[in-house]
Amino acid sequence: MQHYHKLEQYQRRRHTDPVMKITRHPENPIVVPGEYEWRKATVFNPAVIIDNGKFYMIERTAGSLTPCKNYLGLLESEDGVHFTHVVDQPVLTPDELGFPYGSVQDPRVVKIDGTFYMNYALRPCAMSYYPTNTGVPERSIPEYPDGWGEEPGHWLTRSSIVKSDNLIDWEFVADTTELDINDRDNILFPEKINGRYVLLRRPEEYIGEAYGTEKAAMWITYSDDLITWDEPKLLAKAENMAWESRKIGGSTPPVKTDKGWLVLYHGVDENIVYRVGALLLDLDNPEKIIARTHNFIMEPETYYEKFGYQIPNVVFPTGNVVKDGLLYIYYGVTDTAIALATVPLDELVEYVLNESK
């Protein structure tokens, strides 16, 4: 009940304080399952980038929920709303990465020095999901051949980087996390800072007194070559217990503004409701938080954000781009489809600065 009372206080405050108006697209959800066997069950949590004036989306898909083996597909769009597939096959599969029973998930993409780099999470084995229509689906472990799924490490999620010149053909670069922990929401900054690559992480096991946080949090690390990474440093942990008491993690690639790096992040409460907050990080020292929202800037409101095949009450941004001063936010809804929301970038930055005071 404590979290409900806190959330009520936040809701009352949102009626009296200026509220950030983020506009959901009237055609939401803009990308839905279907068309090909490998995406007929679900699509969600996309990476998006603008290149040569065109929007490109890398979608996370599944052809089945039993097991829920995930692939990555590539789409394109002239307007950022109406997307069509570039190729009729996935551009990255767990099989290509050496895990035929696995699942490749949650891409984020940036372009640095003419090369596309994509972060992704990979679980060596895919789980089976059984929707219940009452909340989080039931799960079971499929029976896989050759001993797959029998070791605890087969169910740990590691994160990695691949690179490409064309968004279709991908080459493995490196794992960005240890292989004996769960670590996802790894996100590269879109440019080097002080000559070094910068990466956000969310290691699940980095909790407790030794780590300075009691819940899974956002960490930051640096590299000279994308392969060897410094020891990560704690960047941000849960502070607003009304809506991020369970954990927080990075959502979208940082956006460079004249006031700092804008980073959207997700917060999860005790009822497993996913909401969105925002950080502003120093341009030259991204370990320094300039501002942070106390209130969430997005929460599940519409039917497609509250009900779906898999986890209800989820808004989960994984892609954002800027065009003509407008921030396009692409987000997964209930692990079922992909939606779009927009907001003037300068208005959002000013809101984060003011709301953090």
* pLDDT given for residue 128 in this prediction: 92
* pLDDT given for residue 10 in this prediction: 46
Residues 6+ apart with CB under 8 A from 16: none
* pLDDT given for residue 13 in this prediction: 46
Q: Of the candidates 265, 269, 227, which has an alpha carbon nearest to the alpha carbon of residue 352?
A: 265
* Residue whose token pair is 């499929």: 142
Q: Where does residue 297 rank: exposed (0-12), middle (13-18), buried (19+ CB within 10 A)?
A: buried
What tens digit of pLDDT does each residue of 294-334 get?
A: 999 999 999 999 988 878 999 999 999 999 999 999 999 99
DSSP 349: H
* pLDDT given for residue 8 in this prediction: 52
DSSP 154: G
Cβ atoms of 222 and 196 closer than 8 Å: yes
Strands (E), 19-93: 23-24, 42-51, 54-62, 70-77, 84-85
∠ CA 92-117-297, nearest 5°, is: 95
CA–CA dist 322, 302 (Å, integer): 24
End-to-end CA distance of the chain: 28
Backbone phi and psi for residue 140, each to the nearest 5 degrees, phi listed first: -145, 160
The number of CA neighbours under 13 Å toward the Cβ of 317 is 30
* pLDDT given for residue 16 in this prediction: 39
CA–CA dist 290, 139 (Å, integer): 41
Q: Give bridge partners of residue 74 from the DSSP assignment.
A: 58
**Residues of the chain under the 70 pLDDT cut:** 1-19, 133-135, 357
Buried b (16+ CB within 10 A) or exposed e, 252-277: bbbbebebbbbbbbbbbbeeebbbbb
